Amino acid sequence: IKDTGLSRTTVFKVQKVLKEEKDLKDLPHTSGMTQDWLAANMPFWNKNIWPPQSPDLNPLDYSVWW
């Protein structure tokens, strides 16, 4: 906090906003619509099977999926 030149309150507010934005980005596989679609079309597949987001995984990395 000392190195930023910002007040403690400002730093915590920014930290809170960044965490909220990150949390919003983590929701695609847990939204109700997505879960309903998965339950109807892929009942054997749940949100816990999806791999974590990683820059090391690309869409064509078939070894992860099969």
pLDDT tens profile 7-49 = 777 777 777 776 765 555 555 556 677 778 778 877 776 666 6
Look at residue 10 in the predicted model and tell me its pLDDT: 74
DSSP string, the chain: -TTTT--HHHHHHHHHHHHHHHHHHT-TTTSHHHHHHHHHH-TT--TTTSPPP-TT--TT-HHHH-
**Domain coordinates in residue numbering, the chain:** 1-42
